[in-house]
C-alpha cells in the first residue's frame, strides 16, 4: 500500500498555492471595484470585472504550474531529461534535496489547480448568485461608490 507524507516543503507549496488563491481574489475584487467606479451597474461590473481579471490569473497560474512541472521532472525521476540537465546542480545541493523539492512541486501544482477551480470558478458562481439577493446589491459591499 502506498503512503504519502506531508513534509515542510509540501506545506510551503500549500501555503504558496493558498497565497496565489488570495491574490486571484484580490485582483478580481479590484477589477470589480474599477468597473463600479466607472459607473456600471452591479451585474455588468461583476461580469466585466471577472472577465478582465481572468487573463492575469490564468497567466500567473500557468507560469507557476510550468515551474512546478519542471521541479517535479528535475527532482523526481533521476533518469528524466530535466534531471540529466540539472545533474551538476544536484551535486552542489546534495542528493537529499530530490524528494523534498519534488514534494514542493507536487503540492504546489495540485494546490494551484484546485485554487484555480475553486477560487476562480466557484467564487464567481457564488458572487454572481449572491448578487441577485437584494441584501447583496449594495455597490459599497463590492468597493463601489466610495465617499
Residue 147 predicted with pLDDT over 50: no
106 within domain boundaries: yes
What value does the mean pLDDT take over residues 1-13? 80
Structure-model confidence comparison of residues 116 and 1, the more confident one? 116
17 within domain boundaries: no
78 within domain boundaries: yes
3 within domain boundaries: no
Residue 106 predicted with pLDDT over 60: yes
38 within domain boundaries: yes
101 within domain boundaries: yes
Provide the residue range defining the domain that includes 101: 22-141
Start-to-end CA distance of the chain, whole Å, equals 61
Nearest to 101 by CA among 3, 7, 2: 7
What value does the mean pLDDT take over residues 120-130? 90
Residue 95 predicted with pLDDT over 70: no
Residue 11 predicted with pLDDT over 70: yes
Domains identified in the chain, total number:
1
Amino acid at each position: 500500500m502506498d503512503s504519502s507524507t506531508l513534509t515542510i516543503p509540501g506545506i510551503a507549496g500549500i501555503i504558496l498555492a493558498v497565497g496565489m488563491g488570495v491574490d486571484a481574489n484580490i485582483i478580481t475584487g479590484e477589477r470589480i471595484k474599477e468597473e463600479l467606479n466607472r459607473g456600471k451597474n452591479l451585474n455588468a461590473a461583476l461580469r466585466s470585472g471577472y472577465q478582465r481579471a481572468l487573463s492575469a490569473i490564468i497567466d500567473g497560474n500557468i507560469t507557476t504550474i510550468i515551474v512546478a512541472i519542471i521541479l517535479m521532472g528535475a527532482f523526481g525521476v533521476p533518469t528524466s531529461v530535466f534531471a540529466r540537465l540539472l545533474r551538476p546542480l544536484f551535486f552542489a545541493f546534495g542528493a537529499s534535496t530530490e524528494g523534498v523539492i519534488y514534494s514542493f512541486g507536487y503540492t504546489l501544482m495540485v494546490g494551484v489547480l484546485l485554487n484555480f477551480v475553486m477560487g476562480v470558478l466557484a467564487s464567481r458562481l457564488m458572487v454572481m448568485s449572491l448578487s441577485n439577493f437584494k441584501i447583496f446589491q449594495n455597490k459599497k459591499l463590492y468597493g463601489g461608490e466610495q465617499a
